[in-house]
A = this chain, B = another copy of it.
Amino acid sequence: MAVNLHIPDKKDIHPVKGVEIGISSAGIRTEGHRDITVFRLAPNSAVAGVFTTNRFRAAPVQVCEQHLHKEQDIRALVINTGNANAGTGEPGLADARQTCTELAKLMDLRPSQVLPFSTGVILEPLPMPKLLGALPKAVHDLQDDQWYEAAHSIMTTDTQPKIYSTQLDLDGHECNITGISKGAGMIRPNMATMLGFLCTDIGINPKLLAEMTRDIANHSFNRISVDGDTSTNDSFILVATGQSERYIDSVASPYYAQVYKALKEAALDLAQKIVRDGEGASKFITIQVEQAKDATEALKIAHAIAHSPLVKTAFYASDPNLGRILCAIGYAGIDDLEVNKIKLWLGDVLVATDGGRHPDYIEADGKRVMQSSEITVRVALDRGKHSETVYTCDMSHDYVSINADYRS
């Protein structure tokens, strides 16, 4: 079902020096499902994260933020699927903390050196005995070649694992970048029911890494939308273990630009894979808004298009019902927008100018573009020089089926 989602061969997934992964089954939601994933990180890894803006931040998100704030040496991540530990109040916080404490005991760490992550159903208590019972096996099985299995074990409504891996040659030293992500619904800018873990063995100054993480998230995971719902649990973590022989101390480092670009590409790939596997998706849609006054208005318009159920169902039907796109532009909330100056392209086809249909536009051209599984919508506003791009998918019957049946 996923749209052109590339899953690399196992042989092309490069272990990251200083990262080991162990997986086990707690049966939180389904008996026998491998739903617990533990990362062990080498000492003195730099770790940074960005988290959901939802006011109902899940308990693990709150604990992550606390631990990242007080701890210089994060050494482990623990992820469960099947239950989000969100909307669980004080008992949920205690459960997230206990998870860290128990894992820390097994790994000879302080609890604050562990970051917890949960994804799944909201408003139900974590089944702690099951979860804690599964931790020893995950720790016992820690290995450096479990990325592919981890991409599977963090899935919820995902139909495909999401994994990206590359190598960089930094002056003769081969360094590794590998990451995984999950999420298919409840996806909207400012994160999603989305987890992303991206690791490199390049060393990066922790303060610089924190800045890079915010910036990279803003241009990847915060540029995607499936259904406009911002989840309680969204987390993106960037780890730099420093176990290779290359270190980046500042933006002036000779490797900075190359590494930044590679990490951003990795995050964008992992984010786009979430859209490609969007619940019920049959098409991958890129929305480019150009000639805006600033990023805010470009993003308002891009998101209005990306969130419109009417636009998304028209894409599903391969119906060039492009008035729905103009309509979404019109209600995006730009009060002084002059609609007669807007140009709208569907793929390479100029559709609208002067507040209406372009004279040369014919339906057959629109139809041709709409039948592709990869579609670009381009809007030029004639107001300035700013451009922004967001990524979304169509809305199909399967979106409804998946979300109507999720808990059953």
Contacts of A324 in B (CB 8 A): 122, 229
- Contact between B319 and A407, CB atoms less than 8 A apart: yes
Digitize A324-359: 1 where CB-to-B-CB distance is under 8 Å, 0 elsewhere: 101111111011010110000000000010111100
Least CB distance, A84 to chain B, in whole angstroms: 7
- Which partner residue on chain B sits nearest A84 by CB separation? B323
* Contact with A308, one of B228, B326, B354 (Cβ below 8 angstroms): B228
- Which partner residue on chain B sits nearest A321 by CB separation? B407
Digitize A297-332: 1 where CB-to-B-CB distance is under 8 Å, 0 elsewhere: 000000000011110011011010111101111111
Cβ < 8 Å to B, chain A residues 273-295: none
In the complex, whether A235 has a CB less than 8 A from a CB of chain B is no
In the complex, whether A109 has a CB less than 8 A from a CB of chain B is no
In the complex, whether A66 has a CB less than 8 A from a CB of chain B is no
* Contact with A87, one of B56, B87, B124, B355 (Cβ below 8 angstroms): B355
Cα separation A404 to B319 with both chains bound (whole Å): 7
Least CB distance, A145 to chain B, in whole angstroms: 36
* Contact with A310, one of B89, B185, B319, B328 (Cβ below 8 angstroms): B185
The size class of the interface chain A forms with chain B is 35 or more
In the complex, whether A142 has a CB less than 8 A from a CB of chain B is no
- Contact between A227 and B399, CB atoms less than 8 A apart: no
Contacts of A332 in B (CB 8 A): 55
Cβ < 8 Å to B, chain A residues 46-73: 53-57
In the complex, whether A186 has a CB less than 8 A from a CB of chain B is yes
- Contact between A326 and B228, CB atoms less than 8 A apart: no
- Contact between A321 and B55, CB atoms less than 8 A apart: no
- Contact between A400 and B403, CB atoms less than 8 A apart: no
- Contact between A309 and B352, CB atoms less than 8 A apart: no
Question: A56-B330, A321-B407, A329-B55 given as contacts; is B308 within 8 A of A356 (CB)?
Answer: no
Contacts of A327 in B (CB 8 A): 54, 56, 86-87, 122, 186, 229-232
In the complex, whether A91 has a CB less than 8 A from a CB of chain B is yes
Contacts of A354 in B (CB 8 A): 89-90
* Contact with A400, one of B123, B322, B357, B399 (Cβ below 8 angstroms): B399
Contacts of A328 in B (CB 8 A): 229
- Contact between B400 and A313, CB atoms less than 8 A apart: yes
- Contact between A123 and B355, CB atoms less than 8 A apart: no
Cα separation A310 to B232 with both chains bound (whole Å): 13
Contacts of A86 in B (CB 8 A): 323, 326-327
Contacts of A352 in B (CB 8 A): 87, 123
Cβ < 8 Å to B, chain A residues 71-113: 84, 86-92
- Contact between A326 and B122, CB atoms less than 8 A apart: yes
Question: A227-B309, A323-B86, A400-B396 given as contacts; is B356 within 8 A of A91 (CB)?
Answer: yes
Least CB distance, A162 to chain B, in whole angstroms: 20
Least CB distance, A13 to chain B, in whole angstroms: 32
Cα separation A123 to B84 with both chains bound (whole Å): 44
Contacts of A92 in B (CB 8 A): 355-356
Cα separation A10 to B311 with both chains bound (whole Å): 38
Cβ < 8 Å to B, chain A residues 225-260: 227-232
Cα separation A404 to B186 with both chains bound (whole Å): 22
A-B contact pairs, 8 of them (CB 8 A): A55-B330, A55-B331, A87-B322, A90-B354, A91-B356, A122-B327, A185-B310, A314-B403
Known contacts A54-B327, A190-B331; 4 further A-B pairs (Cβ under 8 A): A56-B355, A86-B323, A88-B355, A91-B356
Interface residues of A (CB under 8 A from B): 53-57, 84, 86-92, 121-125, 185-186, 188, 190, 227-232, 307-310, 313-314, 316-317, 319, 321-324, 326-332, 334-335, 337, 339-340, 352, 354-357, 395-397, 399-401, 403-408
The 7 closest A-B pairs by CB, nearest first: A122-B323, A89-B356, A56-B330, A317-B404, A123-B323, A313-B403, A54-B330
